[in-house]
A and B are shown apart, each in its own frame.
Chain A
Amino acid sequence: MTTAMEIKQVLLVDDDSNIRILAQMGLEGLTDWKVELASSGAEALSKATETKPDLIILDVMMPGMDGPTTLGELRKVETLNDIPVIFMTAKAQTHEVELYQKMGAKGIITKPFDPMSLPDDIQGILSKG
């Protein structure tokens, strides 16, 4: 599997701690990526500014600032606006997928996901470009 970019640091944003644990386990267990966690859109913005991740995985449905809003905010910040973002959602209808992609998301991971194939799924999305 080849990717255009090398990932070292990933920011994972989800309000559900169980999902954070599971996804982190899959990613850190199977790859050499360092996974930083955030539990809300606001936390994601500050953590992203701090750590400058190579990839952000963003839950769509979150209380307060939801995923798309967070992406919008990220795009406003000059230093963060080219970080690739992948959405994670339990509801992915075709029109939504199109909408998210128009917003600049690289792709979508659907929930429920399999933690053991999560890294491959992400690589797959990134290599599609």
Chain B
Amino acid sequence: MTEQDTYILVIDDDKNFRDLVGDLLKSRGYEVVLTRSAKEATATMEAKRPALAVVDYRLPETDGMSWISTVREQNHNFPIVLCTGNWCDQKTFNWLRNILRVSLVIQKPIVPELFLHSLENIIPPPAKKSPARASEDATGFKPQPILDAAQVEESLEQIEKMLTDEDIFPEEAERLKKLKRRIETQNAIKKARESFVKELPESWKVLTSAVQKARENPRNLLLLQDAMAVAHKVKGTAGSYGFTKVGQFAERIEDFLITVDPHSDTHQEVVWAEIIRCVTEGTQVVEEISKAESTSAESRKLPAMSCLAVVPEGEYPTELKGAAADANCELDLVGSSVGAIVKFGKTTFDSAIIDLSLDMTSGRFQLARELRQAARKIIPFCFVSSNEISQADIVYGGASVLISGDATRGNLSEAMQIMTIAGQMRKPRVLCVDDDPLLSSFVESVLSPAGITVRSLNEPIVILDVMHEFQPDLILLDVIMPGLTGYEVCRLLKSHEDWKHVPVIFLTSKSDSEGKRAAFTAGGTDFLSKPVLMDELLSRVKAHLSKTLSEVSTRIDPQSKVLTAGALAAESEPLINICSQQSQSLAAGVISIVDYDQLDTLHGAFSAEHTVGKLGKLLNERLRAEDLRGRIAEGEFMIILPGETIEVLGNIFELFKDDWNKMWFPSVRGREFQTDLAFSTAEFPLEGDNFEKLKDYALRGLKQRSAMS
């Protein structure tokens, strides 16, 4: 046995992995030595024996298993963790565990939280020797998990995925499940800590005034005891919530108060001076903590949407930023169309402002089309153009708003608001009423990717206003909030004619039958216990939404990715109603693939399906976000454009033809083929005042036209 064994030996030929593991371990206070090969590791080991080794399964020259065998043959007994890209079979696994005494087999890619936790179970980190005092910041706050919320979620997701792996060993599954629970608990505690922070200044104020009263009446034993009790409580509570420094000041105050002798006059001043010093310093720390908290809460305010502005570099940036602040929009700027496509490849934005002077791509509004391709959804656009541009171009290009001439803070912010509304149209909406911004952002992060629009409301008092404005399909309601309780809010909604049918799901930390009963008595549809789990939230919300709306996934035709006939009918109804109320026009058009029935016979199986897929894609890449596109029959599609006339629609058809005529489809006959599109229109309210009538009229027109030709 050589020198002391305090370091972790990492052996991996992949530099990225080595560095990742190194950083993770160092973050927990371990000493780490990184090596690239078994040979290098052995050399390191001869100088100094490690406390633990993390070994890659596959290594150049001597592989990980052989290295471990050698180590064990030499009677080295330190724990070893083996990392592998694949699950090995049960036999190998048993051999690793029982013969080579490998403490842990970890699958790559590693989940940071899981990896650290597993390692800490084998050898506690040096930091753990004094848990509360380790790695705290200036305010004495001990940031427990080193991962941020997004990373935690990612970890949970990965664990979830690993658990669904059929080949996973029962003991590994058990370990993962346990870890998942740990992460979830840690998350919940983090949230509890956020709300505790809000109370901290008040608790400290109580302590301060109790100390002052005792100081002013040093002979009053009751006041002295009262101050001690308060200090005692703050010490235990603040400390347990991770605010070590606050806890320490409270502890010092308590300790000094004990030494105050109400019957003696000697040495009292020194003691009191020390107590007052602790109170003052503690106050500063508390102030710093709540300041940090309020700024982070501010930054957590959810933006209504994200927007990428594709504008020439240096042009109207202040106007854009001002507008984004006004419209509560998360803004990113990019100075070229290529840059825009690259950005969209990395993150999906909810909308884009495109200065047409930058659209250098070939073809008409090609950039808008490519952004939708990258986003894989129909995002709304705002075009900025100094040149004249026709209404058909605007609609076809997909712009919900056009800014012609100078872009100002005012018209940009208006454009962002219009895009927000356009982007939210027809998506199911969920209103989350909770005073905890962390929970709201959690709900948003879970529901948004599922195509659900989430609005959060922190003050339940204004709920009726928000109901009118947002028209949610479902409400998530916290029980305990300042001002109104969730039960009261629910009763209020249920007594309101307009809102009594909107389902309410309570979020409650009371999982007992009493809480359940109260939730249902108040008119709640369902309830979820806190801490809320991701899957459960999503599945419950979806289940309740499907009762009120048509299910999100069944709305879309799988071949063409546009609305199904049924969904189109349902969703056109509110659009037609709005146009009727506001005496606006509305144009409906039918687009048909000519000779659709014969395509398979002429060009081979799936030819027809192929054209349908392409046409659906084109429809989604063109037109505005608020326009409807649906498949009404095998080779027939219908589009509905609110606010437009059939003249504009006629021009739009020409633009469709241009794009369509560039498309070629593979044929079994060897050569590629093209098909024609046939179009027909119907205008609201002249040719029909509901969906069915508009459709019939347009279809009749289509038949007449084909008969004539």
Contacts and interface: CB of A to CB of B under 8 A. Distances in A.
A111 interface: yes
B241 A22 contact: yes
B185 interface: yes
B488 to A, nearest CB: 21
Contacts of A26: 185, 189
B236 A22 contact: no
A61 interface: yes
Contacts of A16: 233, 236-237
A112 B229 contact: no
Best-buried of A21, A29, A112, A116 by chain B (most CB within 10 Å): A112
Interface string B528-556: 00010000000000000000000000000
Contacts of B186: 116
A14 B153 CA distance: 32
A111 B236 contact: yes
A113 interface: yes
A17 B182 CA distance: 22
Interface in A86-112: 89-91, 111-112
B184 interface: yes
Given A19-B236, A90-B235, A91-B232, A112 B185 contact: no
B132 interface: yes
A94 to B, nearest CB: 16
B239 interface: yes
Interface residues of A, number: 20
A18 B188 contact: no
Contacts of B664: none
Interface in B236-259: 236-241, 244, 247, 251, 254
A41 to B, nearest CB: 16
Contact of A111 (B182, B192, B240, B531): B240
Contacts of A115: 185, 189, 240
B205 interface: no
A112 B238 contact: yes
A82 interface: no
B606 interface: no
Interface residues of B, number: 29
B240 A113 contact: yes
A30 interface: yes
Contacts of B132: 112, 114
A22 B182 contact: no
B574 to A, nearest CB: 44
Given A61-B229, A90-B232, A111-B235, A22 B240 contact: yes
A116 B182 contact: yes
A77 interface: no
A61 B233 CA distance: 9
A112 B531 contact: no
B196 interface: yes
Contact of B240 (A30, A61, A112): A112
B184 A29 contact: yes
Contact of B247 (A25, A30, A112): A112
A90 B252 CA distance: 12
Interface string B402-430: 00000000000000000000000000000
Contacts of B240: 19, 22, 111-115
A21 B182 CA distance: 17
Contacts of A90: 232-233, 235-236, 239, 251
Contacts of A116: 144, 182, 185-186, 189
Contacts of B185: 25-26, 29-30, 115-116
Q: Which 4 A-B pairs have the closest CB atoms?
A: A112-B239, A29-B185, A111-B236, A90-B236
13 contacts: A19-B237, A21-B509, A22-B189, A89-B236, A90-B235, A90-B239, A91-B232, A91-B254, A112-B235, A112-B241, A112-B247, A114-B240, A116-B186
Given A21-B509, A116-B189, 17 more contacts: A16-B233, A16-B236, A18-B237, A18-B241, A25-B189, A26-B185, A29-B181, A29-B182, A29-B184, A30-B182, A61-B229, A91-B232, A91-B254, A111-B239, A112-B236, A112-B241, A112-B244
